[in-house]
Amino acid sequence: MMRTFRGGLLIGLAVAVLVAIAAIVYEFYDTRTLKRTVRRGEVLCGVNAGLPGFSIPDDKGNWTGFDVDFCRAVAAAIFDDPKKIKFVPLDASERFNELQKRKVDILSRNSTWSMSRETTYDLYFPAVAYYDGQGFMLPAARKIDSALDLNGSKICVQANTTTALNLADYFRANNMKYEEMKFAKLDEVVKAYSEGKCDTFTADVSQLYALRLNLAKPGGHVILPDVVSKEPLAPVVRQRDDDWMMIVKWTLYAMINAEELGITSKNIDEALKSKKPDVMRLVGTEGNYGEKLGLTKDWAARIIRHVGNYGEIYDRNIGADSKLQIPRGLNQLWSAGGIQYAPPIR
């Protein structure tokens, strides 16, 4: 009898161990990010550790910025709560590896969409959130107004970014010489520039606007009008998880469509009463577009109510209502002279 009991106990323990191992393996290998996110109860969002206007925490740990708001929009679509999110600050050198290792569900971290990044890291850049380009900042005292006059400059640049490659390409194409000062972290680049270790700072134009605010005398530095590269900044997700990719992509497209249709966080309740077919499809009073994403009918209305449309997010963080005052430029809607364009929801 005792032998039978012990045998049964051992079998039970073995089964329990196998179940536990299976659960761990499932958690590690399960590629369905939406299911994992819902089970966890929050979205894990990888962001820049501190870039004014895009992602920056205050002294209480509250995050704000354009990239931050995009992740909040994803959380709102899923949970109807933009606060169900955890922000994970990541350096440029670690961001893609951390996404691959599932330390985050999504990168919303001023990352340039390029072919090599998709193929090397097995990642998707679902849609362009911000059309940017590389530029140059320098002390106004240098009295230079064109990048073609930067021959012989000592230039600070961040390592492990497309910026260094673009810099080399631009100077080689224009038969100019420069001295490169490369640093691993962005704050090290800013520090070197502010201390005068280089006479020019190159980065995406949006970054230059943001980082200039942190200098002792922002007005003493100019950003040249020249844009020397294409830098389509986009959220990033893992490949082989198309359901999650679709949610991230259509979160952005919902915000762009909302701006085009004139739907804002202030008038969303009126929009829910609209009889216009394109408005009804967006806010979920007609069709089952949300369910096709694995979400609810009102997924887009949740985004607009809690976070706003694309224009609202842009203006309050980096545009007309912000300290950065970055013109919309290419990021204006296609119908207003820009190239921001979203496929219709139908």
Q: What are phi and psi of 255, to 5 degrees?
A: -70, -40
Give CA angle at 108 (41, 60), nearest 5°. 70
Q: How far is CA 106 from CA 111, 249, 318, in A?
A: 12, 11, 21
Structure confidence at residue 161 (pLDDT): 87
280 and 309 share a domain?
Answer: yes
- Residue 160's pLDDT is 83
* pLDDT the model gives residue 147: 98
In a domain, 53, yes or no: yes
Q: For 211-229, what is the mean pLDDT?
A: 95
Whether the per-residue pLDDT at 10 is higher than 70: the answer is no
pLDDT (tens digit, 9 = 90+) per residue, 124-174?
Answer: 999 999 999 999 999 999 999 999 999 999 999 999 888 999 999 999 999
Name the domain boundary from 195, 229, 263: 229
Same domain, 275 and 223: no
pLDDT digits (tens, 9 = 90+) for 77-117: 999 999 999 999 999 999 999 999 999 999 999 999 999 99
SS3 319: coil
Q: Are the C-beta atoms of 253 and 281 separated by less than 8 Å?
A: no
Instruction: Give the pLDDT of residue 155.
Output: 98
Task: Kindly state the tokens that stand for 205.
Answer: 């134009």
The whole domain housing 20 covers 1-30
Burial 209-231 (b: 16+ CB within 10 A, else e): bbbbeebeeeeebbebebbbbeb
pLDDT at position 63 is: 98
Structure tokens at 294: 């694995």
Q: Which of 229, 248, 282 is the last residue of a domain?
A: 229
Cβ proximity of 204 and 231 under 8 Å: yes
291-310: average pLDDT: 98
Domain boundary among 197, 229, 261: 229
Do 279 and 139 reside in the same domain of the chain?
no
Q: How far apart are CA 83 and CA 58, in angstroms?
A: 16
User: Could you read off the pLDDT of 254-274 as tens digits, one per residue?
Assistant: 999 999 999 999 999 999 999
Q: What whole-number distance in Å separates Cα of residue 104 and Cα of residue 171?
A: 37
Taking the mean position of all CA atoms in its chain, how far away is CA 274?
32
- Spatial distance between the Cα atoms of 43 and 62, rounded to a whole number of angstroms: 16
Q: Show the tokens assigned to 312.
A: 């609202």
Indicate whether 242 and 179 sit together in one domain. no
Q: Any idea which residue has 């999504």 for tokens? A: 106
Q: Is 16 within the bounds of a domain?
A: yes
The answer as to whether 54 is a domain residue is yes
Q: What is the CATH number of the domain that holds 167?
A: 3.40.190.10
Would 118 be classed as within a structural domain?
Answer: yes
d(CA 180, CA 173): 16
* Domain contains 343: no
CB 283 within 8 A of CB 268: yes
Do 238 and 280 sit in the same domain of this protein?
A: yes
Rounded percentage of the chain residues whose pLDDT exceeds 70 = 91
The three-point CA angle 145-149-152 to 5° equals 135
pLDDT reported for residue 13 = 58
Q: How many CA atoms lie within 13 A of 27 on its CB side?
A: 10
Query: Are 22 and 104 contained in the same domain?
Result: no
Q: Can you tell me whether residue 194 is helix, strand or coil?
A: helix
pLDDT tens per residue, range 231-246: 999 999 999 999 999 9
Same domain, 318 and 264: yes
* 5 and 54 assigned to the same domain: no
How many independent structural domains does the chain possess? 3
In a domain, 162, yes or no: yes
The pLDDT, as a whole number, for residue 7 is 56
Contact 90, 107 (CB under 8 A): yes
Dihedrals phi, psi of 260, to nearest 5 degrees:
-60, -35
CA dihedral sign of residues 264, 265, 270, 274: positive
In the numeric block, the tokens 């967006």 are attached to 282
Co-location of 62 and 114 in the same domain: yes
Q: Is residue 26 scored above 50 in pLDDT?
A: no
**Do 255 and 310 meet the contact criterion of CB atoms below 8 Å apart?**
yes
Same domain, 275 and 299: yes
Q: What percent of the chain is modeled with pLDDT above 90?
A: 89
Residue 312 lies in a domain: yes
Gap between the Cα atoms of 145 and 60, Å rounded? 40
Q: Looking at residues 275-294, what average pLDDT do you find?
A: 98
139 & 177 share domain: yes
Beta partners for residue 200, in sequence order: 155
Q: What distance separates the 2 farthest-apart alpha carbons in the chain?
A: 95
For residue 344, being part of any structural domain is answered with: no
Same domain, yes or no, for 55 and 112? yes
